[in-house]
């Protein structure tokens, strides 16, 4: 288990502290995935991390999904169409990742392909879920395996606050019970995840947008600390509330 106590007494003197890109190279972190429930801050962190690593950024194309707004209005009616649209989009992006990028040695993504099934099992059932599983099984072998997955584990309350703050029109009436169910499903999935090294971050106790020192420590944990299996990071309770 890793925590803030794992860091060297002088962070500036730690290997790679001043150059997270070099630290990522030394640990062969060429494909880093940031994950979390809706509102966890995964896209924001992925962008910030990609900037510091001069990495290629891959983000979900949720705004291009023509069914998404209708899904939030009537989940039962539009779940299947929405899920298949996301599956097709994510699969295309995953195949593109196999094409070498001569200008970026590192890729940072704000989602993992496997997480698609979390939403499918929350929103589909019966024949629709069976058809989805058949399609997913055909696509999964083509998705590259991350060198590290960072799971931003938040709380349903914090997730709802973040969703409200970002002000997307189709999320205005987000169902708290839906977020609670996703929160439980994500925890179930990632607490059993073994496909690649996994760093679970207590995101309910960190603000890497407003506090540069917390972002710097989180980047240090991602790029410099050795991760084998599942490790955990809880930020120190030093920030004044």
Catalytic option among 18, 110, 127, 207: 110
From residue 73, alpha-carbon distances to 69, 79, 118, 152 in Å are: 7, 10, 20, 27
Q: How many residues does the chain have?
A: 241
CA–CA separation, 31 and 150 (whole Å): 11
* Strand arrangement, sheet containing 198-202: 56-58, 107-109, 31-35, 148-153, 198-202, 230-233
Q: How far, rounded to the nearest angstrom, does the alpha carbon of residue 24 sit from its chain's CA centroid?
A: 18
CA–CA separation, 136 and 134 (whole Å): 6
Q: Which residues contact 122 (CB under 8 A, 6 or more apart)?
A: 178, 181, 182, 185
Based on the residue annotation, tell me whether 110 is a catalytic residue of this protein. yes
Q: Are strands 198-202 and 230-233 parallel, antiparallel or unpaired?
A: parallel
The residues annotated as belonging to the active site are: 110
């Amino acid at each position: 288990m890793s925590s803030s106590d794992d860091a060297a007494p002088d962070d500036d003197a730690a290997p790679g502290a001043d150059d997270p890109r070099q630290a990522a190279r030394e640990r062969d972190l060429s494909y880093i995935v940031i994950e979390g429930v809706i509102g966890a801050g995964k896209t924001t962190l992925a962008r910030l991390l990609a900037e510091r690593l001069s990495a290629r950024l891959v983000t979900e194309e949720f705004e291009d999904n023509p069914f998404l707004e209708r899904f939030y209005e009537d989940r039962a009616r539009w779940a299947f169409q929405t899920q298949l649209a996301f599956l097709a989009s994510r699969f295309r992006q995953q195949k593109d990742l196999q094409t070498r990028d001569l200008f970026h040695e590192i890729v940072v993504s704000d989602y993992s392909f496997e997480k698609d099934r979390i939403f499918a099992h929350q929103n589909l059932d019966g024949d629709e879920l069976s058809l989805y599983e058949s399609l997913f099984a055909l696509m999964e072998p083509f998705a590259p395996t991350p060198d590290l997955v960072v799971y931003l584990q938040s709380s349903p309350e914090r997730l709802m606050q973040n969703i409200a703050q970002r002000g997307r029109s189709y999320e205005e009436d987000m169902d708290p019970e839906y977020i609670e169910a996703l929160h439980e499903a994500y925890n179930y999935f990632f607490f059993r995840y073994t496909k690649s090294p996994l760093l679970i971050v207590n995101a309910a106790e960190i603000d890497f947008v407003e506090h540069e020192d917390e972002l710097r420590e989180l980047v240090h944990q991602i790029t410099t600390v050795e991760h084998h299996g599942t490790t955990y990071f809880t930020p120190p309770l030093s920030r004044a509330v």
